[in-house]
Amino acid sequence: MSHTIDLMGLQLKNPIMTASGPWAGDAVGIQRCIDAGAAAVITETISLEAKQRISPRLFCDDDGLFNTMLYSNMHLEEWEEELSTIDRKDAKLICSIWGSTASEIAYLSKKVEHMGADAIEISISAPIGSRNLRMLRHSCDIQEFMGAAVKAVDIPVMVKLSYEAASSPNFLRELELSGIRAVSAIDALKGLAGVDIENQRSLMPTYGGYTGQHIRPVSLATTAALHQYTPLQVVSSGGVLDHETAIEFLMLGATAVQLASAILCSGYGIITEIVRNLEHWLTEHGYSSVDTLRGTALRSLRAFEDIVPRSLCASVNEKCRRTECLICAQSCLQDAVYLDEAGTIAIDPDRCDGCGLCVERCPHGLLTLEWR
Ligand SMILES: Cc1cc2nc3c(=O)[nH]c(=O)nc-3n(C[C@H](O)[C@H](O)[C@H](O)COP(=O)(O)O)c2cc1C
Ligand code: SF4
Ligand code: SF4
């Protein structure tokens, strides 16, 4: 069975790519992504202005990950040297670039095409620093900037979007007109790890990019919504952690997915694991190709206005006397949950308005919603 997909006219051997970032910040990292089985590797963002790294630049809060890394710390000439040493095997190499003028973007595009890139990803909306604010505020610049790249090269061009950019139909329309072939979304969300309240100090010295599992719901919604706004191919980034989360994005219409924080937290081996488990899952579930799976969950999503209200009420499946728990009672704004005379959890149907919170929160799955 074939797991190949078509992205912007490029044949990828599977839908698993690695996102732009320090895991693909030089030839060694890129080679490790390729050797681990990624179908396409996107370089860390290359610009004309190699950025010195600040230290520390990675912060964690519970399972959240924040970074204050802008683009690559290598010069264009060094990139040329690095890329020439890579054994590409059957993987595609996509160069992520950023320039602050249209002519800079055109120049970089030509350069990376010459260096052997199969495609270009323009990174326009990182939440770190102030480089992209102008672009997001003046949508008239987008066509000029992105069009400059498209006109300069023969290879396909895609654009990496922030949540904000991916949610703007006007912005997406301008992108379509510029001739780009796909969008990837979402980039990191702007975040701060917290405040040391004893010393009145932010835990991070500047705004960072918040990534990983907690941004997955935002990224899932963005993937699904992008299909309403644009006919461009969508590559999902943001909270892809394992083969099951990769499948979620594909079922919501993603052409392919990108791994980022997963590599930082679990190492390059996670790429191999996800590719293997995805292939196994597809075979086990009888999908003849990735294309037959793509977008299959979109039909279950409706506009809020189209949902017909149902008259449901919580009910208890199994007697519960866990008075040390009472999560259901604490969750109920209607005071509909009570202990009956026998000391078991009961629901007052006259008070219950079917919100579903007690059902979602019961740690033992003892509650359900049923028709009245
Ligand atoms: C440490 C770090 C550095 C990153 N550097 C870049 C970059 O140079 N260019 C870029 O477009 N995105 C960069 N990103 C964003 C990732 O490519 C990805 O879009 C984001 O992390 C969301 O995916 P995730 O939730 O799977 O991590 C970086 C992310 C991290 C965590
Ligand atoms: S469904 Fe909502 S209103 Fe009904 S009992 Fe549970 S929490 Fe209360
Ligand atoms: S939340 Fe569930 S386990 Fe806890 S008291 Fe209610 S029914 Fe029992």
CATH of the domain at 31: 3.20.20.70
**Distance between Cα 326 and ligand 3 center (Å):** 5
Least Cα distance to 346 among 104, 355, 332, 263 occurs for 332
Atom of ligand 1 minimally distant from the CA of 44: 8
Which among 339, 357, 367 is the best mutation to test ligand 2's pocket, defined by most ligand atoms within 8 Å of the CB? 357
Query: By alpha-carbon position, which residue is closest to atom 4 of ligand 2?
Result: 352
For residues 265 and 335, membership in a common domain is answered with no
Query: By alpha-carbon position, which residue is closest to atom 5 of ligand 3?
Result: 326
For residues 324 and 266, membership in a common domain is answered with no
* Averaged pLDDT, 273-301: 97
pLDDT band at 113 (very low <50, low <70, confident <90, very high): very high
**Residue 239 CB–ligand 1 contact under 6 Å:** yes
Among 300, 324, 357, residue at a domain's last position:
300
* Averaged pLDDT, 119-129: 83
Atom of ligand 2 minimally distant from the CA of 331: 7
For residues 138 and 193, membership in a common domain is answered with yes
For residues 134 and 182, membership in a common domain is answered with yes
* Averaged pLDDT, 81-89: 97
**Distance between Cα 14 and ligand 3 center (Å):** 44
CA 242 to chain centre: 12
Burial class (CB within 10 angstroms; exposed 0-12, middle 13-18, buried 19+) of 66: buried
At 62-80, the pLDDT tens digits run 778 999 887 898 999 999 9
The whole model's pTM is what?
Answer: 0.94
Assess contact for 99 and 47: CB atoms under 8 A: yes
Residue 126 reports pLDDT greater than 80: no
For residues 283 and 344, membership in a common domain is answered with no
- Where helices occur in 230-297 by DSSP H, the ranges are 243-251, 261-266, 269-284
For residues 243 and 341, membership in a common domain is answered with no
**Distance between Cα 23 and ligand 1 center (Å):** 10
pLDDT at 124: 87
Q: CA-based angle 39:41:45, to the nearest 5?
A: 160
DSSP conformation class of 23: G
The C-alpha atoms of residue 236 and residue 213 are separated, in whole angstroms, by: 13
- The total number of structural domains in the chain stands at 2
For residues 150 and 275, membership in a common domain is answered with yes
At 138-157, the pLDDT tens digits run 566 889 999 999 999 999 99
Whole domain around residue 367: which residue ranges? 309-371
Assess contact for 213 and 180: CB atoms under 8 A: no
The C-alpha atoms of residue 62 and residue 193 are separated, in whole angstroms, by: 10
Of 83-92, 122-131, 300-309, the one with minimum mean pLDDT is 122-131
CA 206 to chain centre: 22
Tokens of 189: 């969300």
Atom of ligand 2 minimally distant from the CA of 355: 2
For residues 340 and 255, membership in a common domain is answered with no
Tokens of 183: 């969008």
**Residue 345 CB–ligand 3 contact under 6 Å:** yes
The C-alpha atoms of residue 191 and residue 212 are separated, in whole angstroms, by: 12
For residues 100 and 145, membership in a common domain is answered with yes
The C-alpha atoms of residue 311 and residue 370 are separated, in whole angstroms, by: 8
For residue 341, the tally of other CB atoms under 10 A from its CB is 6
Place of tokens 């802008």: 70
For residues 101 and 225, membership in a common domain is answered with yes
Least Cα distance to 188 among 92, 96, 8, 64 occurs for 64
Atom of ligand 1 minimally distant from the CA of 241: 26
Atom of ligand 1 minimally distant from the CA of 123: 11
**Distance between Cα 355 and ligand 2 center (Å):** 5
**Residue 60 CB–ligand 3 contact under 6 Å:** no
For residues 276 and 229, membership in a common domain is answered with yes
Helix, strand, coil percentages, rounded to 5, for the chain: 35, 20, 45
For residue 320, give the CATH number of its domain: 3.30.70.20
For residues 152 and 15, membership in a common domain is answered with yes
Q: How far apart are the first and last CA of the chain?
A: 47
More confident residue, 49 or 293: 293
